[in-house]
Structure 1
Amino acid sequence: MDELEFMRGRVYGADHEEAGPRPGRTYAQLVGGPLDGLLLDVTDRAGADLAEPVALPTELGRYGPGGRACYAPRPGDTRRWDWRGDTP
């Protein structure tokens, strides 16, 4: 199994032992970029907050350790968040 296949279905920011989705939580799929295929827990986001983009810390992006991958909800489909680029 390669690294990309291993990461699919995993929750961003979760411990390795508990990396899968948990019952009772709501997730959005990250699409594109360095975190492609990971799930983002959006359970505590609602209304306008669910429409706000996020900058997620990652070592996998263009800027390596300390960088962030930027994702925003796809218009009309808040279950998918599209990559918008990386930032230092």
Structure 2
Amino acid sequence: MDEVEFMRGRVYGAEHDDPGPRAGRVYAQLVGGPLDGLLLDITDLTEQERVRGVSLPTEIGRYGPGGRSSYAPRPDEPRRFDWRGDAL
């Protein structure tokens, strides 16, 4: 199994031994970029934070360790966050 397949269905930031979604939480699917296919727990984000999008630390983006990947919700599908690019 390659890295991309291994990560599908996992929650961003979850422990490796407990990677799945939890009941009672709200998730958005990350689409595109280095975190494609991961789920992001958006339960505790305010409405403003959800609309603005997120910048997530990742070691597998363009800039490697210390880099971040930006994702923003689709206007017509707020539970799908599209990749906007990588930054330091």
Give the drift of 1:50. 1.7
Query: Separation in 1 of the partners of 2:85 and 2:49?
Result: 20
Partner of 1:78: 78
Q: TM-score, normalised by structure 2?
A: 0.95
Structure 2 residues not aligned, in runs of 5+? none
**Secondary structure in structure 1 of the residue aligned to 2:80:** strand
1:49 and 2:10 correspond: no
Write out the 4+ residue segments of structure 1 that deviate beyond 6 Å after TM superposition.
Answer: none
1:1-88 → structure 2 map (5 Å cutoff): 1-88=1-88
Query: Separation in 2 of the partners of 1:33 and 1:71?
Result: 9
Q: TM-score, normalised by structure 1?
A: 0.95
Give the drift of 1:48. 2.4
Bigger CA drift: 40-49 or 74-83? 40-49
Query: Separation in 2 of the partners of 1:47 and 1:28?
Result: 13
The two structures, once aligned, show a CA RMSD in angstroms of 0.9
